[in-house]
Structure 1
């Protein structure tokens, strides 16, 4: 669930088409940066955007990867490493105006925190598997 979180880079790529639900994307990357108090998640989807970047036009691809960086992270709680396919991603409004509550939960592992802001830090397309 992403209660009306709008990432402009994804909105530009997908237009009026709904952006991928994070719960349907592969969660392949987690980086915690204690110096910058940030957490970055990497997601992968085969739900391709309707408005790809011009530099992707000459590439064969069937997969989009995107990274979401959460900044101003506080109240970080981590249990285990998130590798299970069965997990739930939840991003909702936090207690303070403009803040976010973020959690990724599975039956045995979890990460949860509050963030001041979030953004899609970069996107990449590639060809996964045979053509």
Structure 2
């Protein structure tokens, strides 16, 4: 099952259009904050929202970045550090009520944990140069 990002913050941007599947997004950042027991993931997609923020329409853009913070993190497991292009992102209901099970895995690396909540903390659009 693919990772759902049906967060209200993104649903407002995409309206009735499909919200990007996390497996199709570039996964470019992980921040583990042991002080507040949180983990933040950052993703990037070229699947643009149907309802952009008004300030976004002032400039050209072709890429959306968004950060998802998971709070109340427990059972954190990390194996390996380097990012790999082929990986699977999973966010499912946890074994315990009101918990999420989160994992990002590839052939040689992984991060997995349980979280009590998640929310989109930041969104940003920009014009990404074409790959050579």
Both structures adopt the same fold (TM-score exceeding 0.5)? yes
Alignment match, 1:2: 3
SS in 2 for 1:67: strand
Take 2:13 and 2:110, find their aligned partners in 1: how far apart are those partners? 30
The CA deviation string for residues 90-116 of structure 1, in whole angstroms up to 9 with x for no partner, is: 000001212100000000000000000
CA RMSD for the aligned pairs? 1.1
Does residue 1:119 correspond to 2:119, yes or no? Answer: yes
TM value normalised by structure 2 = 0.94
* Aligned match of 1:17: 17
Aligned to 2:94: 94
Q: Which runs of 5+ in 1 are unaligned?
A: none
Alignment partner, residue 71 of structure 2: 71
Which residue of structure 2 aligns with residue 30 of structure 1? 30
The answer (yes or no) to whether the contact 1:101–1:114 under 8 Å persists in 2 is yes
Q: TM-score of the superposition, structure 1-length normalised?
A: 0.95
Q: How many residues end up aligned between the 2 structures?
A: 129
1:55-109 superposed Cα distances (whole Å, 9 cap, x missing partner)? 1011110000000000000000000125100000000000121210000000000
Gaps of 5+ in 2: none
CA contact (8 A) 2:23 2:89 kept: yes
CA distance in structure 2 between the partners assigned to 1:57 and 1:71 by the alignment: 32
